[in-house]
Amino acid sequence: MCYICLLFLWLWGCLFPHQLFLRFCESVGCEVAALHRRIAEIVEVAAKSGVNIVCFQEAWTMPFAFCTREKLPWTEFAESAEDGPTTKFCQELAKKYNMVVISPILERDETHGGTLWNTAVVISSSGAVLGKSRKNHIPRVGDFNESTYYMEGNTGHPVFQTQFGTIAVNICYGRHHPLNWLMFSMNGAEIIFNPSATVGKLSESMWPVEARNAAIANHCFTCPINRVGTEYYKNSFTSGDGGKAHHDLGYFYGSSYVAAPDGSRTPGLSRVRDGLLVVEMDLNLCRQVSDKWNFKMTGRYEMYADKLTEAVQPCFIPNIIKERASH
């Protein structure tokens, strides 16, 4: 008998004008609480749709304010991944609805001197914290300025076993690094989530391609999730490109979708408003496509491993064959 595993996902693109929460609440705690209430309403709808796993966008409890280069109030949004208020809130949702919850937050690691990380907390359907996955690749492009706030991740490529399948979280900029996807897949991920915060002028032409290609190359499902809307900040900032100072990072274009290992994909969510995408998955497709194409069997990884080890050494010399000079 063939057992078919059906998985439902909920992906959220944020259209919340965060500055409105701060204007009316005048405190970080008030804004976070308001977002908690909003998410609770939407997750209830997702639960009624039979959802098993829910994933929110990158740094979902705050504006993506790293472009401002201001530390306050933005670092005040950071909280413990293990027992912070957002994790406790998500634990309640997970237990109430028997749902795995993936909650990407700005993490403050008090155990290591209050170091900040961009982290996705994975909570089991039992309500227990399964673990966390930190952002491996920090952008050095555009106005994001994330390296000013937090470190590159040190958790590697963890994969989490849930009752609904094995899952991993490749946060935002890691989407541009094929080896990042590969290592999550090599560790056994059937579904790789990609919670993001990216803007149209920079990356929209790449958005439909990268995660879809990763699904094909790694015989797994991929789920890129993006914000929606424009976030405006009180103080203007420059981009280092000689242009005028401005008050926003750009337009977050949403368009969240799910790609399958056979190359098919869902339509994208809206570019202009909140979205709830519920997708039924047959995880048997991962094995079926792998048996057909055998990309991992034919990968010749040992060949690349040796050369990559050489390439990161200071004395590395590229293997370029040139025409010999005639005499």
| 9 pLDDT more than 60 | no
Residue 2 lies in a domain: no
pLDDT at position 147 over 90: yes
Instruction: Verify cis geometry, omega within 30 degrees of 0, for the bond prior to 73.
Output: yes
Give the 3-state DSSP-derived string for 10-70, with helices as H, strands as E and coil as C. Answer: EEEECCCCHHHHHHHHCCHHHHHHHHHHHHHHHHHHHHHCCCCEEECCCCCCCCCHHHHCC
Average pLDDT over residues 283-304: 96
Going through 273-326 in order, the beta strands assigned E by DSSP cover: 275-282
Indicate whether 134 belongs to any domain: yes
Active site residue ranges: 58, 135, 172
Please give the average per-residue pLDDT across 154-163, as a whole number.
Answer: 98
Give the range of the structural domain holding residue 182, as residue numbers without chain letter. Answer: 7-311
Average pLDDT, the chain: 90
Region 135-152 average pLDDT: 93
| pLDDT range class, residue 10, cuts 50, 70, 90 | very low
In a domain, residue 265? The reply is yes
pLDDT category at 150 given cuts 50, 70, 90 is very high
> Is pLDDT of 20 > 50?
no
**Quick one: pLDDT band at residue 190, thresholds 50, 70, 90?**
very high
Is 127 within a domain?
Answer: yes
CATH number of 63's domain: 3.60.110.10
- pTM exceeding the 0.85 threshold for the entire prediction: yes
Please give the structure tokens belonging to residue 274. Answer: 């909140």
pLDDT of residue 25: 53
Instruction: Let me know if residue 250 belongs to a domain.
Output: yes
* E strand map for 68-164: 100-109, 115-123, 129-134, 160-162
Res. 1: pLDDT tops 60:
no
| Percent helix / strand / coil, the chain, rounded to 5 | 35, 25, 40
Q: Is 129 within the bounds of a domain?
A: yes
Residue 302 lies in a domain: yes
Q: Are 254 and 227 in contact (CB under 8 A)?
A: yes
pLDDT at residue 286 above 80? yes
In a domain, 326, yes or no: no
What's the pLDDT band for 205 if we cut at 50, 70, 90?
Answer: very high
How many independent structural domains does the chain possess? 1
